[in-house]
Every structure is written in C-alpha cells, then in structure tokens.
Structure 1
Amino acid sequence: MTSSDDAVKTILRNKLLGRWAAEKLGLRGGEAEAYSEALARGEGDPEHSDVFSKIRKDFDAAGVDESDARILNVMTELMLKAGSLLPTARGDATDAAAVTLARKLMAP
C-alpha cells in the first residue's frame, strides 16, 4: 500500500468514524453528513488530524457517555473496514462513495 493509499484509508476511516460519532451525538441528515465530512477532511491534513480529541471533546460537551477505550476501539475497527474497502470498494454504495470522496480529497 502506498502512502497515498494510507492517506485515502485514513480519510475513509475518518468519514466512517464521523458517521458513528454523529449518530452518538444525535445528529441527523445534513448535520450528520457535515460532521462526517469535517472529520474526513481533518482540517486539511487528515493524516495528522487528531480526530480522537475532536470526538472526545464533542462527546463531553454533549454529555455522550463513551469511554476513551471505546472510541479508540471504534477507530481501529473502522480503520480495518476502510482498508478492506479500499482495494475494490466492494462495500455498499455509500462506502464506495466515501472511497471516491477520499480519493478526491487527496487529489492535488
């Protein structure tokens, strides 16, 4: 896997993670999608963005009861899922769209 693939995998993981976190935060529709997109973009540098701290801060502010260990576990699970989606985009249409988005975000 190239470093570009690693970056795409991280963006896709962050997108999926954003969906999970948005659901926990009670966000729906456009708000949930905007939250997920913001995590995917990682403020311009998804590989060095601290999505854990962002989610922890947002959960604390909203009173969402999730442990650090659970958040980190979900991050790991979703990184594995992102890796399995990357080579073939065999996931559902939403996951394929997330892979496409991740690649577009990486384009110069």
Structure 2
Amino acid sequence: MTTFDDRERAFETKFARDEEMQFRIIARRNRLLGHWAAEKMGLTAEEADAYAVAVVQADFEEAGDEDVVRKLVGDLTAAETDVDEAEVRRAIEEKTVEARRQLIESQG
C-alpha cells in the first residue's frame, strides 16, 4: 500500500506544480499583453507598467481569457487604435508562447 500512497502523493505534487506553472505563465502573458497594448496606445513607460498590472488584475474577473480580451479590445478601441479582436487573440497566443519560454529559461 505504501507504493500506491507514494505514487498518489507524487501525482498530487506534480499536479500542484503544473497548476502553479500555468498560473505563472498566464500572469506573465497578461503582463506582456499589457505592455504590447500600451505600446499600441502610445503610453509612457510608467503608464505601460501600470496598464500591464491592470491587465493582470482584469484576468481575475472571470474564468478564461474573455475578460482580458474584453479589456484589451475596449481600451484599444477607446484609444482609437486600429487593433481588432482577432489581432488581440493572436497576441494572446504569441504572448502565451513567449511567457512560457521566459519562465522555462528563468528556471534553467
């Protein structure tokens, strides 16, 4: 029975580690998205940092990415940029890959 318990604990530990890594990837992705959108809106470096934090916080409104998409599209539209929802969704995919790469590199 000890072997089974050890395997169960190992799976639980791996699951927790994977969940934490996914959370960190999404938070970093959202920060990168905030800086990407800030650049499109012509914000200063200080404003961009604050905006990136706001994008990270927007992700806690509901599960999934729709809250982030809604914030980015709304803010980019209000700033009269020519960025549409499809471009925001492409940026989400690109920044997810970039965030994952950055976290993996920082661990190695």
Question: Shorter-chain-normalised TM-score: which range?
Answer: 0.7 to 0.9
Greater mean deviation of Cα atoms: 11-20 or 57-66: 57-66
Q: Does 1:53 align with 2:65?
A: no
The structure where helix makes up a greater share of residues is: 2
Aligned residues of 1:7 and 1:46 also touching (Cα < 8 A)? no
5+ residue gaps, structure 1, are: 91-108
TM-score, length-scaled by structure 1: 0.73
5+ residue gaps, structure 2, are: 1-16
Residue identity opposite 1:57 in structure 2: G
TM-score, length-scaled by structure 2: 0.73
Equivalent in the alignment of 1:27: 43
Equivalent residues, number: 89
Equivalent in the alignment of 2:33: 17
Aligned residues of 1:14 and 1:40 also touching (Cα < 8 A)? yes
Query: Which 4+ stretches in 1 moved above 6 angstroms?
Result: none
- Percent identity between matched residues is 33
Residue identity opposite 1:58 in structure 2: D
Give how far 1:69 is off. Answer: 1.2
> Relative contact order, CA 8 A, sep 6+: which one is greater?
1
Q: Does 1:85 align with 2:84?
A: no
